[in-house]
């Protein structure tokens, strides 16, 4: 659906674009805050996508990026080799720098980029990775999906400075229609698992911006936990690699809040691998129970939930949904709810509970597993 981005490109630059690509947002079924700890995740790519339309820079421009988004339609002009400005154009500048280091674009290369997106920003659906993956695919359509994920990850992590893991960019680049992806973030092993469950997405309307705040703090806590646990197990590289049967030893070795953070990561790692197996065997009821457990662990131990998310999950549970939990980093954003195909009670129950608590409605939609990044015809 490149039309809005194509129109914007013409409007902003008075020229015709050369290429286009789109990439999806994602929801993560289970495996929260495990990615940057070297554990497993189980995301699906969603139908909402970000489209990037690109063209060469203006005549005479060298090393200049001009970027515009349907979000505010303001053209941002960036010398992408120099210090990147704060704001969203830094994500695009980061992609240019990474493509330059792979020698896909020359050091004095210029580009114009117009973006449109259906992925809500800061809703926990990974609008940031949809953006970086779409821009990478548009500028470098011949890179392999894993290379695209790498470029997009480093753009956000190394250049924008969000200490994210590799999950969002990986699913956005590798996603397959009607499949979930079990992805081991340390070994980078990827397994596509058929997905035909009925999954609801509840947007709490509370937004986060991950380039500030809680996520970076949690990452620092996890790093500190690994440092201390290395005294016990010198070969430990990732927090998620701590053996689950050694939890008592871990609890003795760490103080709060590091203890709770580490217990979440180690527990969530085991839970996610088990959940993926149950999902493959279509044991949705048992799988759903693990979703509830995951939410509880995020809420109590990792402290990344919010009252709105807790309201949704509690209402889903009371209504008899198979499972529910926050998805994405948390601190607001969206929750997923797994329901039987014939379920009619859960949606109105969540709506009632949310309206009673917050005096406004929370939009609820169905999620379908969709395709990863691809080029778009102009
Ligand atoms: P999310 O969970 O949506 O990925 P993040 O905080 O990681 O939340 O990323 C949101 C940021 O990504 C925004 O603040 C903005 O800088 C950038 N962004 C995402 N989509 C767009 C877009 N369509 N136009 C401009 N900026 C965008
Ligand atoms: Mg993001």
Contact 132, 67 (CB under 8 A): no
pLDDT 10s digits, 343-354: 999 999 999 999
Q: At what angle do helices 145-154 and 167-174 cross, to 10 degrees?
A: 150
**Burial track 266-279 (b if 16+ CB lie within 10 A, e otherwise):** bbbbbbbbebbebb
192: which residues sit within 8 A by CB, 6+ positions away? 176, 179, 180, 181
pLDDT at 209 over 70: no
pLDDT at 211: 52
148 half-sphere exposure, CB direction, 13 A CA radius:
32
Residue to substitute in 25, 48, 128 for testing ligand 1 pocket (most ligand atoms within 8 angstroms of CB): 128
Angle CA(273)–CA(279)–CA(284) in degrees, nearest 5?
Answer: 125
Position 14 confidence tier, pLDDT thresholds 50, 70, 90: very high
pLDDT at 124: 80
Confidence of residue 86 (pLDDT cuts 50, 70, 90): confident
Can you give the pLDDT at residue 210? 55
Q: Which atom of ligand 1 is nearest to the CA of 121?
A: 3
Whether 212 has a pLDDT exceeding 60, the answer reads: no
Q: What is the DSSP string of 87-147?
A: STHHHHHHHHHHHHHTTSS-TT--EEEEEEE-SPTTSSS-HHHHHHHHHHHHH-TTS-HHH
Record the tokens describing residue 152, joined without a space: 């997009």
Q: How far is the CA of 107 from the centre of ligand 1 (A)?
A: 26
Report the pLDDT averaged over residues 68-79: 96
- Burial of residue 97 (CB within 10 Å: 0-12, 13-18, 19+) is buried
pLDDT digits (tens, 9 = 90+) for 89-114: 999 999 999 999 999 999 999 999 99
User: Which residue is it, tokens 């986060």?
Assistant: 208
Ligand 1 centroid–CA 26 distance in Å is 13
Q: Name the closest-CA residue to atom 20, ligand 1.
A: 127
Q: Which residues are catalytic?
A: 168
pLDDT tens-digit profile of 240-290?
A: 999 999 999 999 999 999 999 999 999 999 999 999 999 999 999 999 999
Ligand 1 nearest-atom number relative to CA 333: 2
Instruction: Confirm or reject: Cβ of 124 under 6 Å from ligand 1.
Output: yes
Q: Whose CA is nearest to atom 8 of ligand 1?
A: 122
Give the closest ligand to the alpha carbon of residue 333: 1
Ligand 1 centre and the CA of 88: distance in Å? 7
Ligand 1 centroid to 117 CA: how many Å?
A: 10
* Ligand 1 in reach of 51 Cβ (< 6 A): no
The closest ligand to the CA of 84 turns out to be 1
Is the per-residue pLDDT at 213 higher than 90?
Answer: no
φ, ψ of residue 59 to 5 degrees: the values are -55, 135
Q: What is the dihedral of CA 296, 301, 304, 307, to 10 degrees?
A: 50
Which two tokens mark 292? 């509830």
Cα of 157 to ligand 1 centre, how many Å?
13
Could you give the C-alpha distances from 252 to 12, 117, 220, 248, 267, in angstroms and in order?
60, 47, 20, 6, 16
Rounded to the nearest angstrom, the distance between the alpha carbon of 322 and the centre of ligand 2 is 27
Region 65-80: mean pLDDT is: 96
pLDDT at position 1 is 62
**pLDDT greater than 70 at residue 178:** yes
- The residue whose C-alpha atom lies closest to atom 18 belonging to ligand 1 is 128
- Answer whether 165 contacts ligand 1 (Cβ < 6 A): no
Looking at the CA of 153, which ligand is closest? 2
Ligand 1 within 6 A of CB of 331: no
Say if residues 99 and 150 touch (Cβ distance below 8 Å): no
Please give the structure tokens belonging to residue 318. Answer: 């009371």
pTM recorded for the entire structure: 0.93
Per the CB < 8 A criterion, the answer to whether 298 and 325 are in contact is yes
Q: pLDDT at residue 214 above 80? A: yes
Residue 373 confidence (pLDDT): 98
pLDDT of amino acid 302? 97
Q: Are the CB atoms for 349 and 357 separated by under 8 Å?
A: no
Stretch among 3-7, 214-218, 337-341, 369-373 having the lowest mean pLDDT: 214-218
- Using one digit for the tens of pLDDT, what is the confidence trace for 109-137? 999 999 999 998 878 899 999 999 999 99
**How far does Cα 271 stand from its chain's mean position?**
19
Percent of the chain clearing pLDDT 90 (strictly above)? 91
First to last CA, the chain: 10
Atom index in ligand 1 nearest the CA of residue 328 equals 2
């Amino acid at each position: 659906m490149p039309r809005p981005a194509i129109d914007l490109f013409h409007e902003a630059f008075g020229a015709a674009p050369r290429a286009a690509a789109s990439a999806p947002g994602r929801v993560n079924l289970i495996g929260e805050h495990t990615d940057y700890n070297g554990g497993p995740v189980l995301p699906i790519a969603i139908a909402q996508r970000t489209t990037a339309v690109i063209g060469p820079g203006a005549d005479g421009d060298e090393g200049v990026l001009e970027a515009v988004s349907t979000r505010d339609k303001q053209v941002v002009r960036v010398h992408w080799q120099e210090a990147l400005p704060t704001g969203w154009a830094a994500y695009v500048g980061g992609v240019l720098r990474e493509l330059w280091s792979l020698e896909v674009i020359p050091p004095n290369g210029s580009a114009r980029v117009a973006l449109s997106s259906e992925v809500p920003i800061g809703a926990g659906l990974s609008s940031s990775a949809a953006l970086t993956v779409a821009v990478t695919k548009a500028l470098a359509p011949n890179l392999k999906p894993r290379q695209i994920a790498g470029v997009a990850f480093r753009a956000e992590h190394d250049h924008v400075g969000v200490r994210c893991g590799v999950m969002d960019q990986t699913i956005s680049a590798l996603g397959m229609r009607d499949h979930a992806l079990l992805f081991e973030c340390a070994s980078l092993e990827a397994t596509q698992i058929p997905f035909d469950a009925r999954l609801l997405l509840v947007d709490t309307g509370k937004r986060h911006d991950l380039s500030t705040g809680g996520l970076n703090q949690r990452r620092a806590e996890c790093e500190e936990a690994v440092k201390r646990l290395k005294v016990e197990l010198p070969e430990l590289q990732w927090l998620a690699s701590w053996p689950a049967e050694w939890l008592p030893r871990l609890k003795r070795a760490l103080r709060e809040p590091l203890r709770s953070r580490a217990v979440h990561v180690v527990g969530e790692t085991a839970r996610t691998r088990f959940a993926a197996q149950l999902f493959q065997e279509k044991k949705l009821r048992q799988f759903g129970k693990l979703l509830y457990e995951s939410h509880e662990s995020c809420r109590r131990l990792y402290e990344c939930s919010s009252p709105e998310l807790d309201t949704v999950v509690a209402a889903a549970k009371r209504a008899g949904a198979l499972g529910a939990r926050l998805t994405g980093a948390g601190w607001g954003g969206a929750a997923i709810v797994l329901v039987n195909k014939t379920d009619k009670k859960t949606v109105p129950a969540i709506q009632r509970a949310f309206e009673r608590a917050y005096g406004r409605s929370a939009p609820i939609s169905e999620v379908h597993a969709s395709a990863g990044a691809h080029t778009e015809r102009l």
